[in-house]
Every structure is written in C-alpha cells, then in structure tokens.
Amino acid sequence: MSWSPVADSPLPVRPWQTAVYEQLARQARDESLPQGLILSGPERSAASRFAGALARLLICLDPGTTGPCGQCRSCQLNQAGNHPDYLVVEPDSEERPTIKVDQIRELSAGLTLASQYGGRRVAVIELADWLTIQAANSLLKTLEEPPARVIIVLVAASPERLTATVRSRCRRLTLPLPAIDAAEAWLEMHGRRDAATLLALAGGCPERSITFADEGLADYAPSLAGDILQLLQGRTSAPSLAARWAGTRLATLAFLNEQLLADCLRAKAGGSAAVRLPANDDLVALVTTLPWRVLYEYRDELTALRRAMEQPLNEALTLERLFLGWSRIVGATLSNTG
Ligand SMILES: [Zn+2]
C-alpha cells in the first residue's frame, strides 16, 4: 500500500483504506460495482465511517478520482445531511440492537422510488448483523432483484452472523489495518500519547486506539495484567476485582481480557507476547503453564461474554463472570494437572 505515514490522505477515508476506496470508485465509474456489499472492519466505527464516505461518493453526480465533487446538487444535499437518495437503517435502540422486518420493508419500498436527482440510490444498513431472521429474509428479496442503480451496503462487525443467503448475494469487503509503525505515526500526528501501548491493547486498530484513549485507558489499563496475576496466585478474588473494575466500559474490559488471553496463547505456541503492560510477562509465564484445553474453553467463553455485552445485562454479574473464568482455569489445572 502506498501512503506516507506522516501525511494524511487527500481522500475522505483513512490513509490505509485508500486502496479499497479507489478500487470501489473505479468500479462505480465503470458501473461494475455489485449492488450488495458487506462491509466489515476491525472496528465498527471505522466501517461505519467508511460506508458514509462510500455513499457520498456513489451519490455524487460528477465524482472525480479522489472522491465526490463537493459542488453538485447531490453533494450539497449530503453536506446538509438530508439527501433523499441516501437511506440509512439502524437499530432503533442502542440498548437492544435489532433491525426489524418493518424497517426493511420500509427501506425496500423506498428503494423502488425513482432517484430524486438522477443519480444512484444508496442504502446503508448499520449493525446489519442484528437483522432479525424475518428482516434478513425480507432484505433477501430486494438483494435478489435490486432496482436499477441501487447499492445496498451492510455494515457488519460479524458478517458470519448474517444468513448464508444474504451473504451469497453480496460482495464482502474487509477494511485493512495499517502497519504498526504507520499506525503509531498516525496516532502521534493526531496528538495521541502512548501510541504504542494503545495500539498493542487495541489489537493494532487506530480507531479503537482513539476510543481507548478517550476512555482514559492508557491511565487505568496498565494495572489489569497485574490484577489478573494476583487473582491467579490466589491473592485476590473475582468479586473484589469485579468491584475494582466496576465503572469501566464492559465491552472495553472484555476486549482487553481477550487480548491478554490471546497474548498468552501466542506465547504458549512459541510466538512473542505483544501486549506490553506491567506484570504481563509474569502473567504470560504463569498462564502458559496451563493446559491448552482450559485456555481454549476460556477464550470461547470470553468471546461469548463480549457478544452478550452487546445486549442489556446485569453488569455486576457479568463483570464477576469475566474474572471468575481466570480463577476457574487455575482451579481446573490444580485439580487436573496435565
Ligand atoms: Zn458531487
């Protein structure tokens, strides 16, 4: 990928996404773009932002090689935030994210209308992995016979949760991550301190690093590996850790725990640990002595917990469960060595 790590992109997308964006722009000019796209990325906000940029490009009546013209009637309406040919569907509740069949029926009916300005019509479905089965079946009908010059973009963090029939009607696009040194330079250019630590915690994703930085993660996260180590050594308990970490955003905490465990698994497989937190080396040294089976089981449980956290739940109980898992993998080992 050809971009300088110190210059920001002239395109309306992140520098490391320009190759994907330019390819889509070329296909839009040739009218060879598939009418159904599934867009996923390392972080939802990144994929969502890219989908918005893509929609503005596709609706522009006179796009150039580096993006929408910014001058045409379509671009002006987009800047005002109310283009009738740019439709967005999203869950009506952040608390319980589902997209219902009525929302998809309304969208499909809207897409059969003629374009208001003679260009394309673009629908972006946010959190598309939360389509109900009925909604997915309803969407499938539109994807099978889409109206002319309609593009439907599904933004999905976990595309494998979409039905196989919907997936088969769409081209899948995964946004890339930048190289670590380029990502560090980009974060520093945007005034973020501790870029290396943030990126290690965020799995190399700059957008997630920014979210973490805004949550003050660089200040509080460093004690996490030490806390878990104390728990594994029997010097603290899951309920006390749950109380200590109450108030932290659950999704962030679950993600960090997954990162720490993934790091331990990498080290156990002979790779090098990537997370650089105080006490991380001691944690890795201890956890790598545990059997693969219990580590894999706990990894699956952490993944399930993170997903459950996307639904409303009892926060205190979930926090405790999160830390109890670590206790259990040590318990399972003590009672069943080998
Ligand atoms: Zn334009």
What local confidence, expressed as pLDDT, does residue 231 receive? 94
Write out the two tokens for 229.
């180590």
Tell me whether residue 199 is in a domain: no
Cα of 327 to ligand 1 centre, how many Å? Answer: 58
* Domain end residue (candidates: 174, 209, 234): 174
Cα of 153 to ligand 1 centre, how many Å? Answer: 20
Q: Do 28 and 156 sit in the same domain of this protein? A: yes
Tell me whether residue 188 is in a domain: no
Cα of 313 to ligand 1 centre, how many Å? Answer: 45
Cα of 206 to ligand 1 centre, how many Å? Answer: 29
Point out the residues of the chain with pLDDT beneath 70. Answer: 1-11, 94-96, 275-276, 309-317, 334-338
Burial (CB count within 10 angstroms: exposed 0-12, middle 13-18, buried 19+), residue 95: exposed
Q: Do 118 and 251 sit in the same domain of this protein? A: no
- Rounded CA-CA distance 221/273 in Å is 17
* Domain end residue (candidates: 112, 147, 174): 174
Cα of 152 to ligand 1 centre, how many Å? Answer: 19
- Rounded CA-CA distance 110/262 in Å is 45
Tell me whether residue 193 is in a domain: no
Count CB-CB contacts under 10 A for residue 166.
21
Q: Do 280 and 168 sit in the same domain of this protein? A: no
Tell me whether residue 200 is in a domain: no
- Rounded CA-CA distance 163/168 in Å is 9
What's the N-to-C CA distance of the chain in angstroms?
46
Which residues partner with 88 through β-bridges?
Answer: 124
Tell me whether residue 56 is in a domain: yes
Q: What is the DSSP letter of 68?
A: -
Cα of 16 to ligand 1 centre, how many Å? Answer: 24
Q: Do 30 and 165 sit in the same domain of this protein? A: yes
Q: What is the DSSP letter of 173?
A: E
Backbone angles phi, psi at 128, to 5 degrees: -65, -20
Tell me whether residue 214 is in a domain: no
Q: What is the DSSP letter of 83?
A: -
Q: If you write DSSP's letter for every residue of 200-231 in order, what string do you get?
A: HHTTT-HHHHHHHHHTTHHHHTTHHHHHHHHH
The beta strands (E) that lie in 58-190 are given as 86-89, 121-125, 150-155, 171-174
Inter-residue contact 68 to 25 (CB < 8 Å)? no
Q: Do 154 and 40 sit in the same domain of this protein? A: yes
Residue 29: which of 71, 68, 75, 63 has the closest Cα? 63
What local confidence, expressed as pLDDT, does residue 213 receive? 86
Residue 77: CATH number of its domain? 3.40.50.300
Please say whether the dihedral angle defined by the alpha carbons of residues 252, 258, 264 and 269, taken in this order, is positive or negative: negative
For residue 38, give its domain range: 15-174
Q: Do 114 and 170 sit in the same domain of this protein? A: yes
Q: Do 34 and 101 sit in the same domain of this protein? A: yes
Inter-residue contact 38 to 163 (CB < 8 Å)? no
Cα of 72 to ligand 1 centre, how many Å? Answer: 4
Residue 287: which of 273, 272, 268, 301 has the closest Cα? 268
Q: Do 79 and 136 sit in the same domain of this protein? A: yes
List CB-based neighbours of ion ligand 1 within 5 Å.
60, 68-69, 72, 75
Residue 300: which of 280, 318, 283, 325 has the closest Cα? 325
Cα of 111 to ligand 1 centre, how many Å? Answer: 21
Q: What is the DSSP letter of 162?
A: S
Tell me whether residue 35 is in a domain: yes
Inter-residue contact 170 to 128 (CB < 8 Å)? no
Q: Do 91 and 157 sit in the same domain of this protein? A: yes
Q: Do 110 and 30 sit in the same domain of this protein? A: yes
Give CA separation, 282 vs 14, 260, 291, 324, in Å: 37, 12, 17, 19
Tell me whether residue 216 is in a domain: no
The helix/strand/coil state of 219 is helix
What total number of domains does the chain contain?
2
